[in-house]
């Protein structure tokens, strides 16, 4: 068995997905979980793009131990200096620098000749070689680049100090056979390629990201760039959980292993879903609700006879055997804190105190409190610095002979704003009242309600997408009261809008 490196880009490329932006606390929290999961490299962000990105990278570099901490930079000194300043405290630092190499990108985006692109790439790597423990170079839109030109630029940047060469399928255009040939050609035609690790970064525009990554690994790549739940630009990236389990289940075919603790996959996926307020599709491989469900009579009969008739892996292998009853109304702060830590959630003393208050309120309404409840509670108190708007109070009057009317009191920067509005239904009335109280008008695009825990008093989780000034923002809220969950979800989306407005930054598609 040969080991490959898992380079996680959830916090960089993943966060660039519309509606997936995270607060500094949330990025740090998820980075800690990635370390527990066992990823080899965490791409913490794009430091030069905003103070928010810089601070998140700095916090992760200072406190997350184990994985290499990487930061992204264009092939310019300003970006490289920002990465250095942000991640210099990490145990092991890596610069990930890139420049476009496809004819269409060089001509229309960079407006550079191929010679100028090589010159800039070499200059950037040479400038950075004494600032970082490792340097990774990506020829952006690599799979649509001329192979002979790639051989040339890759050889030049390795000579300049790059130790990892990443080939991005930036627009998800390539097929598995093509990308396999691409990687093997680079391996066989770059004279000094033995001095570097070949990496692969695949986007999922045609649904080929995991298949392309596997093909690249089969042909010589030894680092895979992935994101949890496959989030990222447009249709996203190769999904970490799908790649890892493909390698685990088909070891007979791939003869490749990773450092990933697969039993952490499900929890990590759920944590990310909570943080970015994006529900996991029920049919999502590995982590979806239906992944280990069997409704067909034929399937059920087979499963009862022998589990392997319809399961190629077990729920336990990806961590889906979570304990059920955890805590109740008689539990104290000590027990609650202990369970939070056992679940791998890192909260400050203040956040623990706030979470415990929410827990006690929930425990008074429910006989049983589950791990999923605690995960939701923890998610609700993370990133408090981004709460521009908070729900202080709401009341709804409705009935089959009355016009639904809602009154809300919203704290806007600690100042209370109370408004009332009508709507087609109770939820619509609440949203209209929130619009009036905040002065921000959103257009509801998607609205979903799910029961995320068991029993008649289950927590209801509302996830939604709201369009504000032409941009979509996601929100998620949970409560045993679906109307309260809806209000929280809508306010969550408005907070993401405000955060984006304050911390707008550069984006790329490497």
Sort strands 402-412 and 415-422 into parallel, antiparallel or unpaired: antiparallel
Q: Which residues of 56-95 are buried (b: 16+ CB within 10 A; e: fewer)?
A: bbbbbbeebebbbbbbbbbbbeebbbbbbbbbeebebbbb
Q: Are 97 and 137 in contact (CB under 8 A)?
A: yes
Instruction: Give residue 497's pLDDT.
Output: 85
Architecture of domain 323-510: 2-Layer Sandwich (3.30)
Q: Where in the chain is the domain with CATH 3.20.20.70?
A: 2-276
SS3 394: strand
For 177-230, what is each residue's pLDDT tens digit?
Answer: 999 999 999 999 999 999 999 999 999 999 999 999 999 999 999 999 999 999
Instruction: Give residue 452's pLDDT.
Output: 63
For 451-469, what is each residue's pLDDT tens digit?
Answer: 766 565 667 888 898 999 8
What are the CA-CA distances from residue 264 to residues 20, 254, 383 (Å)?
21, 22, 23
Q: Where in the chain is the domain with CATH 3.30.160.270?
A: 323-510
Residue 292 has pLDDT above 90, yes or no: no
Instruction: Give residue 355's pLDDT.
Output: 87
- The pLDDT-based confidence of 303 (bands split at 50, 70, 90) is very low
Q: Other C-beta atoms within 10 Å of 173: how many? A: 17
Instruction: Give residue 360's pLDDT.
Output: 85
- Class (C level, CATH) for 2-276: alpha beta
Instruction: Give residue 277's pLDDT.
Output: 84
Q: What is this structure's pTM? A: 0.76
Q: Which residue has the higher pLDDT, 326 or 66?
A: 66
Cα–Cα dist 319/465, whole Å: 29
Q: Other C-beta atoms within 10 Å of 379: how many? A: 22
Q: Are 217 and 223 in contact (CB under 8 A)?
A: no
């Amino acid at each position: 068995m040969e080991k490959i490196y898992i380079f996680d880009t959830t916090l960089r490329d993943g966060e660039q997905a519309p509606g997936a932006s995270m607060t500094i606390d949330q990025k740090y929290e998820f980075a800690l979980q990635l370390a527990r999961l066992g990823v080899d490299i965490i791409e913490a962000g794009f430091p030069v793009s905003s103070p928010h990105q810089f601070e998140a990278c700095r916090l992760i570099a200072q406190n997350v131990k184990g994985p290499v901490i990487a930061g992204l930079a264009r092939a310019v000194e300003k970006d490289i200096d920002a990465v250095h300043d942000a991640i210099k405290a990490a145990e092991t630092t890596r610069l990930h620098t890139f420049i476009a190499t496809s004819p269409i990108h060089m001509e229309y985006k960079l407006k550079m000749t191929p010679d100028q692109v090589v010159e800039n790439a070499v200059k950037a790597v040479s400038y950075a070689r004494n600032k970082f423990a490792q340097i990774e170079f990506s020829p952006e839109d690599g799979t649509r680049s001329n192979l002979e030109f790639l051989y040339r630029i890759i050889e030049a940047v390795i000579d300049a100090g790059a130790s990892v060469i990443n080939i991005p399928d930036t627009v998800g255009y390539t097929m598995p056979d093509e990308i396999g040939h691409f990687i093997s050609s680079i391996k066989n035609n770059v004279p000094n390629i033995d001095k570097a690790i070949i990496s692969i970064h695949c986007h999922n525009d045609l649904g080929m990201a995991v298949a392309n990554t596997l093909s690249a690994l089969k042909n010589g790549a030894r680092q895979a760039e992935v994101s949890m739940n496959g989030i990222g630009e447009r249709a996203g990236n190769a999904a970490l959980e799908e790649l890892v389990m493909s390698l685990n289940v088909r070891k007979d075919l791939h003869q490749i292993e990773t450092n990933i603790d697969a039993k952490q996959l499900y929890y990590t996926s759920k944590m990310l879903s909570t943080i970015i307020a994006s529900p996991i599709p029920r049919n999502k491989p590995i982590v979806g609700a239906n992944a280990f469900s069997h409704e067909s009579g034929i399937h059920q009969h087979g499963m009862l006879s022998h589990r392997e008739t319809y399961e190629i892996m077990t729920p336990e292998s990806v961590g889906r055997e979570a304990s059920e009853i955890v805590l109740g109304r008689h539990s104290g702060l000590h027990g609650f804190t202990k369970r939070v830590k056992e679940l791998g959630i890192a909260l400050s003393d203040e956040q623990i105190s706030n979470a415990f208050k929410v827990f006690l309120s929930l425990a008074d309404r429910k006989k049983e409190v589950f791990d999923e409840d605690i995960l939701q509670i923890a998610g609700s108190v993370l990133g408090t610095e981004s709460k521009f708007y908070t729900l202080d109070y709401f009341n709804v009057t409705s009935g089959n002979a009355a016009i639904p009317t809602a009154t809300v009191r919203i704290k806007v920067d600690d100042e209370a704003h109370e408004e009332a509005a009508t709507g087609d239904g109770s939820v619509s009335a609440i949203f209209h009242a929130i619009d009036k109280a905040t002065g921000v008008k959103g257009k509801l695009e998607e609205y979903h309600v799910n029961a995320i825990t068991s029993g008649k008093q289950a927590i209801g989780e509302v996830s939604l997408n709201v369009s504000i000034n032409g941009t979509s923002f996601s929100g998620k809220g949970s409560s045993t009261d679906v109307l309260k969950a809806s209000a929280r979800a809508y306010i969550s989306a408005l907070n993401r809008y405000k955060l984006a407005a304050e911390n707008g930054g550069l984006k790329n598609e490497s």
